[in-house]
Structure 1
Amino acid sequence: MTLLALGINHRTATVAVREQVAFTPTQLESALAELRSLPHISEAAVLSTCNRTELYCVTDAAGEQTVLDWLGRFHNLRVEELTRCAYHYHDNDAARHLMRVAVGLDSMVLGEPQILGQLKEAYQQARQAKGLGGELERLFQHTFAVAKQVRTETGIGKNPVSVAYAAVSMASRIFDDFSRANALLIGAGETIELVARHLHEAGVRQLTVANRTRERAERVSSSLGGTAITLPEIPDALERADIVISSTASPLPILGKGMVERALKKRRHRPVFMVDIAVPRDIEPEVGELADVFLYTVDDLEEVIEENRRHRQVAADQAESLIEHGVGSWQQERRVRNGGEVIRDFRRHGESLRDQARDQALERLAKGEDPAKVVERLAHQLANRFMHQPTLTIREAAAQENHDLLSAAPRLLLPPKPAFEQPAPSAKRQKDDTPA
């Protein structure tokens, strides 16, 4: 079986494609069940964020195309379109990719910490859906251990910078005085919590958090002295908002061009800074056509993110080294496990042959046959039965000139030869060598 990592991210696909391939929280349960039930797939996990959708599977040789075809069917996309922007890794490369994702080396913001939490959530969802077997379970656990080591031993996580921070940083280039700005945040997840905290630390005091449920919005806004509202109340809040940052899991846009246009008229066309962090997008792209709106998506944050990347490159190089060590140790553990499975199968086979020969010998003894002859026959049968399959395999390897198998056979089947002892020096040689 092969370990496969297949997906798209911010480097390979535009936000328009990423939002089509993203899984909403309500889709994940059915998606995992479907993916796990596919032929050629024995284990599966799904990671879906604003910047990437990735499938981790244990498959056979035909599994990769099966997964790609299924992803296209699930999201009503042509496989050819997916193939153009999808990447895939196998075995060690798949493990390395997962570890790089976990520590933020593959993120838009180098070293951003949120991805590890998102990966842990994906792991828990896969476990609940019974999508994990021994292979993916051990890989995820090993990955979390490597990520912890990287965070502990390098500076990759110091002064963490996220997409949320980048959004606020970009807003600071437009607003000289945050204390006079009114901010509207849509959503109540981890990203919006970070945005709210960064805005508060930057000086924003007029903060409104909108969410489907008021309780979740209050959880984010209360500690920062903000106001909580529900989604139907957004049009009124939009009239007062100078900054709008949105990150929800809604499959459809929350802010349309008409709603924003009406709010601008009541604002007397005072400009509004908007950042849409969500994938699929929360704000209709047409909103950006309005004269008094500065609309940015996650792809527009690249300049701020690149500056962060330069500062963290040294720590990233150290992290890459730790990941290589982590991949090596995972590979070694995997080899040991695979060897253990072969050993268990071999021992079970040997014990089966032993039991058959023993039972036959006991039957002969019960019939009163000569014990010496029974023992001799038992030894003869055991030797023949143990040697039968290896003998056939070696003959077949010789006929096919399979030199790798032929060279390995003596190490597997024969005891090591004793080392030759060096002859003791003769008395005459000792005498000759004695210095004068």
Structure 2
Amino acid sequence: MQKSLVLKFIVLTAVASSPVPQNGRQKRSHRLLLISFDGFRWDYDQDVVTPNLDSLVEEGVKAKYITPPFVTMTSPSHFTTITGRWIEDHGVIHNMMFNPETLRKYSHKATQNKTEWWDNGVLPLWITAQNQGKKTASFHYPGGGANYSGQAVDRSLVESFTHPDSNETEWQENIDIVMGWFAREDFDFVTLYYGEPDKVGHLYGPETGKRIVIIEQIDRTIGYLRTAIKKHGLQDSLNVIITSDHGMTTVKKQPAVEEILLKKYITFKDVVKFDILDYGGFGMILPKPGKEEEIYQALKGAHPHLNVYKKEEFPENFHFAKHERILPILLYGDSGYSVNGRFILYINKGDHGFDNRHPDMRTIFRAFGPDFRKGYLAEPFDSIHIYPLMCHLLGVQPEPNNGSLAWTRDMLHAAAAEHLLLRPLLVGAAMLAFLLTPV
């Protein structure tokens, strides 16, 4: 009897996790292209003429804004989108791979090739989809160049160290390549990453005419994408999601404000073993043995716009501090206040890494294609919820994640959302039939 009950549980689990068949056989889901424009703040297009982005509002879905995870950096945020997990769960806690024992730090682009930084037991959607018979690719998307449990993405292109961020001709060529992957090589899921408008935002600040110019370029690129989709005959089979990783805010500098400079309050050589600082609005410190309390007390309240926490006291709503890679002391500045360590950097006029709840850290969300409603304005939601939406669009059973399809299902037209309601009925009927069968 016990064996029979176990067998029933296994069969019911398989029924619950399998896609709902259409007309007695499995129907192939539509394909999906995820595009990320790094640093595209939620309101960047509101003062710019953007006919193509405006058309997407009529032809698809727009969310009022997306809230990225904390910490609002490129690699951590992108990996949250592709896994649906909070940063403290997936472990990609920073743009830079670092080792507090060897004191090694790797740049953002060098980190892209470090599997040991990305592979922490959480599978990104590329691998999950491949395990379920899909064909996937990553074009410059953070994390796409790593191996996960020994598996690589079917096709992956990683940004070179000298890759130009804002070459419009190259942007169009990249779209042509991706359209070829879908049309001629039968890919199911592709992620495409662009490094703008992040670079412009850093160099010139978000409140600049150069930001307007790059948003106009992005809009032209969206127009090129829409034309390319039709040219390759993909308009009835390809869903597209356009989003970003974080926003951007103007860096507050002297003499208008007193900038945060930690060496005014602590003597680094005496108390600090290792630090990740001078990287926007966020930082971490590994104290020398016995020096944690001294550093904490020296920095707590030292600057009116510096937030200082011990790891165990970091606010839980950030879903950040519980990972083993997090150092004992965490710091972040109020919006616009960079956390400087031993000296002040005057390079960036715009930056991120600040509280993800601040409006300047919010990002965009647009979606269109055969499964999306037209002219639909969605309420704001957290970026973790993009993952279950993508799994649904691809017909992929998701890995455990922190997101929920409840936040995005209203974006889908009735036919696309139909099996969301049908699946529980089928599973319930199967469960009832099995439970009523004598054992």
- Quickly name the TM-score band, shorter chain normalised: under 0.3
Bigger RCO (CA 8 Å, 6+ sep)? 2
Higher strand share: 2
Taking structure 1 as the reference length, what is the TM-score of the superposition? 0.26
TM-score (norm 2): 0.26
